[in-house]
Chain A
């Protein structure tokens, strides 16, 4: 099993550009989440999903959209990137309380 995979690993955007961060899991987990991690801080929840077709907002959802059309995939969309979105983004999946994390995407917005 690959576990949780994220692409790309690194990305540089200009202000105003859009992009999609991809996340996939092959463990048939119901629950998936997106977090961002800023220097010296823990993770903050952006959006999460409790199953295909069901998503909800976390602590810092502004500027991000998500969808969950399949159990496996949970993409995160930045519609108009801003420098404040420079961060490391982690996707996670779980069947219950324990979350499994992907390796992260390091995003820089200039």
Chain B
């Protein structure tokens, strides 16, 4: 079963607006990652936040993690048409190494209109 559930399933905004996507998960984690997938392509890693971190930034991306609520959010500021893609959260398990073994959410489809 999917570990993560993402909300919303689809998001449509205008260029320049901010986009916020949310992810909830069920079990304890070591880290949470966000990936981006352009239509018909493989996934590309965006950012990783560890379980002992609360917030992380990378360029126009801001990720928060609330382990007490088992949830994370991804904020893309000043969105561009090129940000149009599907965004997935993925979790690595708490026990031992989770390398090579991620559990993905169902994804949010983001459409940014020029």
* Chain A residues within 8 Å of B, Cβ to Cβ: 4, 30-33, 35, 40-45, 48-50, 58-59, 90, 92, 94-104
Contact = CB atoms under 8 A, between A and B. Distances in A.
A97 B41 contact: no
B101 A45 contact: yes
A95 B41 CA distance: 22
A96 B106 contact: no
Contacts of A42: 2, 4, 88, 90, 104-107
Contact of B106 (A41, A45, A49, A98): A41
Given A30-B99, A41-B2, 6 more contacts: A42-B106, A50-B97, A92-B100, A98-B33, A101-B43, A104-B40
B100 A94 contact: yes
Contacts of A96: 99
Interface string B75-114: 0000000000000101010000111111111110000000
Contacts, number: 73
11 contacts: A33-B102, A41-B106, A43-B88, A44-B104, A50-B97, A90-B43, A97-B99, A99-B43, A99-B100, A101-B43, A101-B44
Contacts of A94: 99-100
Interface of B: 1-2, 4, 30-31, 33, 40-45, 48, 88, 90, 92, 97-107
B104 A98 contact: no
Nearest to A104: B42
Contacts of A31: 99-100
Contacts of A49: 100
A57 B114 CA distance: 44
A102 B43 CA distance: 8
B100 A33 contact: yes
A97 B98 contact: yes
A101 B48 CA distance: 16
B90 to A, nearest CB: 8
Contacts of A43: 43, 88, 90, 102, 104
